[in-house]
Amino acid sequence: MQLSTPIDAVPSQIEGPGTLYLRFFEKNSARVRVASALEAENYYFERDGDVLLISVASFDVAPLVCLLRDTLFAGEQRAIKAIWEVQGQPLCLRDCFNVESLKAFLARAQSGWFLDMMRENRFETHFQPIISVAHPERVLAFEALLRGRLKDEIVAPQTLFEVARGLNLGRELDDAARFCAIKSAAKHRLKSKIFLNVSPNTIGDGRDMLLSTLEAVEDAGLLREQIVFEVVESECIDDVPQLKEALAGLRKAGFRVALDDLGAGYASLQLLSQLRPDYVKLDRELVAGVDCDRFKALIAEKLLETARALGITTVAEGVESRGEWEWLRSHGGDFAQGFYFAHPASYPPVMSSRGAFHLAHAALAA
């Protein structure tokens, strides 16, 4: 399965020697702080009005990147404009159109490992079971969670997607995560449903995602009804009507849809009404301590009632205690996932002869 954009077309990590041009538009202390930091570290630089010209004599740009990150706030990094001139390749007119924010430059300068990871497809999927609240031995699904492999270390998905967004590769990383999960599910011969996380603003009109997923599912020998597209970061949705149409196309093709983070804000309730997903996940912040917080309990109870009235199956995220599980069981929660039952693992938990998970809390099924 091919990614939608060739990763080789993305500029690789920035290497020296060369000159970094920084333009400071606002009259504030940022330029003074950067100049002071450069002087303290013995960098050669020149001032030309609102522009600083910083020379990097060595091959390694990383020390300068760290200095600028430590000196400037994120908002300042976004406001400052940057152009990188490679030594021996003077700037030309074309370079004037390649101006980027300093924040983007810094992300690109430190992203070589990520681009290598994308090119070599060094990803793996970890699975976390979603189980029945009333019958913990019953498995509804496994949520597929992306991990990156960097030598002997595992890179968390938060880091991967933060870097991907900085490089405008969010859709490509979504694709890689989805294909990796489908292949892993087939490898482990999973018969349960597979929840695949997808960012709403990378779906587009849904046609490319539909076609590529259909191909991947058929190649892997899975069934369409096993796949559940879980819309994450619901607070970041830019075009609800387009998303609604895209999800309708996925459902028409035989896939299922889940909405993440119900209870994280009023917007999620509006989305529940507009999108009418097959599954809805209660936000982990709401679930945490729901058994001993009357305010959370009242909200969670109403959300469960609303979903039940709409015929939407509920999944409580982040269950970490017996009290939270028992509260969900007594208030009609359908399914749950969390560390109380199982941590994400590269190999899905197997069933014992009793029909319970090999988990720390297998006594739940007793």
- Residue 13, pLDDT score: 58
- Residue 356, pLDDT score: 46
Band of residue 358 on the pLDDT scale cut at 50, 70, 90: very low
- Residue 58, pLDDT score: 78
Band of residue 359 on the pLDDT scale cut at 50, 70, 90: very low
Separation CA 354–CA 362 (nearest Å): 10
- Residue 10, pLDDT score: 42
Per-residue pLDDT reduced to its tens digit, 139-189: 999 999 999 998 878 989 988 988 888 788 889 999 999 999 999 999 999
Q: What is the 3-state secondary structure (H, E, C) of the chain?
A: CCCCCCHHHCCCCCCCCEEEEEECCCCCCHHHHHHHHHHHCCCEEEEECCEEEEEECCCCCHHHHHHHHHHCCHHHHHHCEEEEEECCCCCCHHHHHCCEEHHHHHHHHCCHHHHHHHHHCCEEEEEEEEEECCCCCCEEEEEEEEEEEECCEEECHHHHHHHHHHCCCHHHHHHHHHHHHHHHHHHCCCCCEEEEEECHHHCCCCHHHHHHHHHHHHHHCCCHHHEEEEECCHHHCCCHHHHHHHHHHHHHCCCEEEEEEECCCHHHHHHHHHHCCCEEEECHHHHCCCCCCHHHHHHHHHHHHHHHHHCCEEEECCCCCHHHHHHHHHCCCCEECCCCCCCCECCCCCECCCCCECCCCHHHHC
- Residue 200, pLDDT score: 87
Q: Is the pLDDT of residue 2 over 70?
A: no
**Sheet with strand 100-101: strands edge to edge:** 44-48, 51-56, 18-23, 81-86, 100-101
Q: Which fold has domain 121-365?
A: TIM Barrel (3.20.20)
Q: Is the pLDDT of residue 277 over 70?
A: yes
- Catalogue the long-range contacts made by 26-32 (C-beta closer than 8 Å, 24 or more residues apart): 26/79, 28/76, 30/72, 30/76, 30/80
Q: In the chain, where does the domain assigned CATH 3.30.70 lie? A: 7-110
- Residue 354, pLDDT score: 34
Domain range 7-110, its CATH number among 3.30.70, 2.60.40, 1.10.3470, 3.30.450 = 3.30.70
Per-residue pLDDT reduced to its tens digit, 32-76: 999 999 999 999 999 988 899 999 987 778 789 889 989 999 889
CB neighbour list of residue 304: distance below 8 Å, 6 or more residues apart: 282, 314, 331, 332, 333
Helices 112-120 + 170-187 axis angle, to 10:
40
Band of residue 360 on the pLDDT scale cut at 50, 70, 90: very low
- Residue 352, pLDDT score: 37
In this structure, of 215-219, 238-242, 266-270, 342-346, the range with the lowest mean pLDDT score is 266-270
What percentage of residues in the chain have a pLDDT greater than 70? 87
Range picked from 10-24, 90-104, 109-123 for highest mean pLDDT: 109-123
Per-residue pLDDT, averaged over 18-34, amounts to 88
Per-residue pLDDT reduced to its tens digit, 216-261: 999 999 999 999 999 987 667 778 899 999 999 999 999 999 999 8
- Residue 16, pLDDT score: 74
pTM score: 0.75
Average pLDDT, the chain: 86
- Residue 261, pLDDT score: 84
Q: Is the pLDDT of residue 336 over 90?
A: yes
- Residue 316, pLDDT score: 97
Q: In the chain, where does the domain assigned CATH 3.20.20.450 lie? A: 121-365
33: which 2 tokens? 């702080």
